[in-house]
Amino acid sequence: MNAPTDYLLQLADTALVLAQRNAEWCGHGPVLEEDLAMANISLDLIGQARYLYQYAAAGLGGDASEDRLAYFRDANEYRCLTLVELPNHGPRSGGAACAPDYATTIVRNFLHAALMALLWAELQHSSDTQLAAIAARSVKEARYHLRHCGDWLLRFGDGTAESHARAQAALDHLWPYTQEFWTPSPAELAACAHAGAPHPASLHAAWDNRVDAAIAAATLQRPPNCGFLCRGKFGQHSEHLSYLLAEMQVVARAHPDAVW
Amino acid sequence: MSTPALKDWPLWEVFVRSKQGLEHKHCGSLHAADAAQALRLARDVYTRRQEGVSIWVVPSAAITASNPDDKAELFDPAADKIYRHPSFYDLPDDLGNM
């Protein structure tokens, strides 16, 4: 049986929003080589989102299309993880000006890629053959993203006092948002019951092993788990997502159905 | 783009072997902190359009290059030795292209 549309949108929205965040570095990366590498990761994620949106749109029928799903839904209709919508810097109030911080970007991508490398590997065995095919191509990309960000995490954590402090601060800031990974949404429960998708909690132990090993190697401290639970998967987002969507969607909404 | 790290990062020469290619060919250079990072960045800079299936990186400082000022004595003497080219043999027709 096929995965529910909400499940596809959850995966697609998470990939697209993270791609948009990472793309903010395009032309502003710390060095040219890394600028290209981060842009490549964004393009991988946009590619994943496109396959998922196209598949979801085919299931929805009518005038649904990948562009309509990406550009004409508002923040409360997005199902992305809260982690991926946060800005590329530490906690600040509202619109306070703040320089972007590469450690925040790297730690966020690392925590996310560690999840996706596990999730895509499991989804290759989904009874939804289309989703399984998307997973088979995406798992290779996720493993590379994990390698890329894991390498930087090690260099930042085990680097200078400044880079260590920034990596630890990013880890402390972002860690609470990973709790959302393990709390299933209705779409995840339905995909688990009917499409052979893994229950989110079943990936927790393997994720812990992988992340703990990388954190320890980088001489960083694993933050304690706390009671905070965000609910991006349920459409309840931080204040940051609507600003991100406004920037991403403005051209498509100003010129609907424009073509190149 | 601010690039203070480039002052500290050594330069690496990148060689890529294409799918059909038998040898690694020089395709450019990049800055990286060490060999492992150079290899990873080379993947993102030089193989993003399916250029290759294998990458070598070599510290640029490890390359010993000929001096451009020596060009005349090193290379010009070969210019009139056309008999060194294997172009004076009659090949049988059924040998095809060599």
pLDDT digits (tens, 9 = 90+) for A122-152: 999 999 999 999 999 999 999 999 999 999 9
* Confidence grade of residue B98 (pLDDT, cut at 50, 70, 90): low
pLDDT of residue B57: 97
The single-letter code of the amino acid at A72 is F
Q: Name the phi and psi angles at B11, rounded to 5.
A: -90, 145
- Chain B contacts in chain A segment 143-202 (CB below 8 A): 147-148, 151, 155
Q: How far is CA A152 from CA A111, A172, A217, in A?
A: 13, 17, 12
The matching CATH number, chosen from 3.40.50.10160, 3.10.20.520, 3.40.50.720, 3.40.50.970, for B4-95 is: 3.10.20.520
Q: How far is CA A226 from CA A93, A104, A234, B91, in A?
A: 21, 20, 20, 81
Q: Which domain holds residue A248?
A: 5-254
In whole angstroms, give the CA distance from residue B7 to residue B11.
Answer: 10
In whole angstroms, give the CA distance from residue A33 to residue A10.
Answer: 31
The pair of three-digit structure tokens given for residue A81, joined into one six-digit string:
């993880």
Q: Output the domain CATH number for residue A132.
A: 1.20.1260.10
Rounded to a whole number, what is the largest CA-CA distance in chain A? 56
pLDDT of residue A50: 98
Interface contact flag, B30 A37, Cβ < 8 Å: no
In whole angstroms, give the CA distance from residue A233 to residue A83.
Answer: 11
The pair of three-digit structure tokens given for residue B74, joined into one six-digit string:
């090193």
Q: Name the phi and psi angles at A236, rounded to 5.
A: -105, 110
Candidates A115, A142, A119, A112; CA nearest to A41 is A142
pLDDT of residue A138: 97
CA distance B38 to chain A (A): 9
The pair of three-digit structure tokens given for residue A97, joined into one six-digit string:
């000006």
Candidates B3, B6, B61, B4; CA nearest to B33 is B6
CA–centroid distance for A254 within its chain: 27
In whole angstroms, give the CA distance from residue A76 to residue A90.
Answer: 24
In whole angstroms, give the CA distance from residue A52 to residue A46.
Answer: 10
Helices (DSSP H) in B1-98: which residue ranges?
Answer: 35-46, 71-75
* Confidence grade of residue B83 (pLDDT, cut at 50, 70, 90): confident
Interface contact flag, A151 B36, Cβ < 8 Å: yes
Residue B4 has pLDDT above 70, yes or no: no
Residue B6 has pLDDT above 80, yes or no: no
The single-letter code of the amino acid at A240 is H
In whole angstroms, give the CA distance from residue A145 to residue A143.
Answer: 5
pLDDT of residue B87: 78
DSSP state of A231: B
The pair of three-digit structure tokens given for residue B52, joined into one six-digit string:
């290759």
| CB neighbour list of residue A197: distance below 8 Å, 6 or more residues apart | A3, A7, A122, A123, A126, A131, A188, A191
In whole angstroms, give the CA distance from residue A221 to residue A167.
Answer: 10
How confident is the prediction along chain A (260 residues), in pLDDT tens digits per residue? 799 999 999 999 999 999 999 999 999 999 999 999 999 999 999 999 999 999 999 999 999 999 999 999 999 999 999 999 999 998 876 566 788 999 999 999 999 999 999 999 999 999 999 999 999 999 999 999 999 999 999 999 999 999 999 999 999 999 999 999 999 999 999 999 999 999 999 999 999 999 999 999 999 999 999 889 999 999 999 999 999 999 999 999 999 878 87
Interface contact flag, B48 A147, Cβ < 8 Å: no
Out of A31, A37, A151, name the one closest to residue B31 (CB): A31
pLDDT of residue A257: 79
Please check whether residue A208 touches B, CB under 8 A: no
Number of domains in chain A: 1
Q: In this predicted structure, which of A65-69, A251-255, B3-7, B79-83 has the lowest mean pLDDT?
A: B3-7
DSSP string, A145-175: HHHHHHHHHHHHHTS-HHHHHHHHHHHHHHG
In whole angstroms, give the CA distance from residue A37 to residue A155.
Answer: 16
CA distance B75 to chain A (A): 36
ipTM above 0.85, yes or no: no
Residue of chain B nearest A148, judged by CA positions: B40
What is the average pLDDT score of chain B? 87
- Chain B contacts in chain A segment 120-139 (CB below 8 A): none
Helix, strand, coil percentages, rounded to 5, for chain B: 35, 20, 45
Specify if A259 maps to a domain.
Answer: no
Specify if A260 maps to a domain.
Answer: no
- Chain A contacts in chain B segment 36-75 (CB below 8 A): 36-37, 40-41, 44-45, 48
Interface contact flag, B41 A33, Cβ < 8 Å: yes
Chain B residue numbers with beta carbons less than 8 Å from the beta carbon of A151 are 36-37, 40
In whole angstroms, give the CA distance from residue A229 to residue B97.
Answer: 71
pLDDT digits (tens, 9 = 90+) for A60-71: 999 999 999 999
